[in-house]
């Protein structure tokens, strides 16, 4: 009985405790708002400034010399696509197959070490990767090249792809594999055509995110892919890319170049946003289907 009355009468400091609680929780909510502000500001600016320069010629034309109106970033758009292509051609097989190895084939110490070093790799600053690829590819080739740029982007991509592949392969229900093995299908076929195939949509999502990530990378391209004022898809030549072109134009003193840079930034941000959204929607429907 005495206990109950004790509960009914607010203890000393009770009000203070409640106020303090509300205050701190309010601060937490506020920080969520604060974090969204720069995001909004960036989106607003990029859209507002960039939309003005958006036209078909932006994607098709080459940069014009300073002072001449018009021109576009056709070279950079093609360049970025080429670089992504090269990076995927190198990075995807390595990433996916090493992920398959970790999840499916090897489960011992060796696989643990691979997983561990993939994580180490993902923490390496991208500029350092640029320096590394410069020593590895550019110096022996004696000049900058799209290939070198692709290699550095591939190195950035690999750890993400490896990890996603591994995680998604582990999510595949074991009875699928068991059923396949019980039918006498060899292990490698089971791994590739049953397990990997089941996980494929999820892995594709992971790959989209990895592509979104490398599409915006600038630092490792500065002294690997370098830049190119002309349209080029040659693997052994320097190549333009959207981020590097944005950097060059953004830091230039010319108004129309800065305008182009804003438009470039808009294109880049929209592409990355769409890739992220698609990935997000993909994940949601998959999870929804499962539960």
Q: Which of residues 239-268 bind other proteins (CB under 8 A)?
A: 243, 246-247, 250-251, 261-262, 265, 268
Q: Are the CB atoms for 76 and 143 separated by under 8 Å?
A: no
Residues 33-62 that bind other proteins (CB under 8 A): 34-36, 38-39, 41-42, 45-46, 49
141 interacts with other proteins by CB under 8 A: no
Tell me how far apart the alpha carbons of residues 64 and 69 are, in angstroms, rounded to a whole number.
7
17 interacts with other proteins by CB under 8 A: yes
Residues 178-207 that bind other proteins (CB under 8 A): 178, 181, 186-189, 191-192
Q: Provide, rounded to whole angstroms, the least separation between the CB of residue 56 and other proteins.
A: 23
Q: What single string gives the DSSP state of each residue in 42-76?
A: HHHHHHHHHGGG-SHHHHHSPPPPTTS-----HHH
Extended strands (E) in 94-225: none
162 interacts with other proteins by CB under 8 A: yes
Q: How many Cα atoms within 13 Å fall on the side-chain side of residue 190?
A: 18
- Name the CA dihedral angle for 224, 250, 124, 143, rounded to a multiple of 10 degrees: 10
- Choices 55-63, 65-73, 88-96, 198-206 (CB under 8 A): range interacting with other proteins: 88-96
102 interacts with other proteins by CB under 8 A: yes
Residue placing its CB nearer to other proteins in the complex, 24 or 254: 24
21 interacts with other proteins by CB under 8 A: yes
């Amino acid at each position: 009985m005495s206990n109950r009355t004790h509960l009914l009468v607010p203890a000393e400091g009770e009000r203070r405790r409640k106020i303090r609680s509300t205050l701190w929780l309010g601060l937490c909510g506020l920080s969520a708002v604060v974090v969204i502000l720069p995001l909004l500001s960036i989106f607003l600016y990029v859209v507002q400034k960039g939309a003005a320069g958006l036209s078909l010629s932006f994607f098709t034309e080459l940069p014009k010399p300073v002072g001449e109106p018009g021109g576009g970033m056709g070279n950079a758009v093609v360049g970025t696509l080429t670089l992504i292509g090269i990076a995927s051609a190198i990075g995807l097989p390595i990433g996916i197959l090493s992920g398959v190895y970790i999840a499916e084939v090897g489960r011992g110490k060796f696989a643990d070490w691979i997983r561990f070093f993939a994580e180490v790799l993902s923490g390496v600053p991208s500029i350092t990767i640029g320096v590394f690829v410069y020593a590895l590819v550019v110096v022996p080739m004696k000049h900058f090249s799209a290939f070198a740029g692709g290699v550095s982007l591939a190195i950035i991509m690999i750890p993400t792809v490896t990890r996603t592949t591994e995680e998604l392969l582990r999510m595949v229900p074991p009875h699928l594999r068991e059923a396949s093995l019980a039918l006498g299908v060899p292990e490698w076929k089971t791994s590739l055509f049953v397990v990997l195939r089941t996980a494929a949509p999820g892995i594709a999502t992971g790959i989209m995110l990895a592509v979104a990530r490398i599409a915006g990378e600038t630092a490792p391209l500065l002294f690997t892919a370098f830049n190119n004022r002309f349209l080029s898809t040659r693997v052994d030549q320097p190549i333009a890319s959207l981020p590097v072109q944005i950097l060059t134009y953004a830091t230039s003193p010319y108004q129309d170049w800065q305008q182009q840079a804003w438009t470039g930034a808009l294109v880049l941000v929209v592409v990355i946003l769409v890739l992220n959204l698609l990935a997000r929607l993909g994940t949601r429907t998959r999870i929804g289907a499962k539960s």
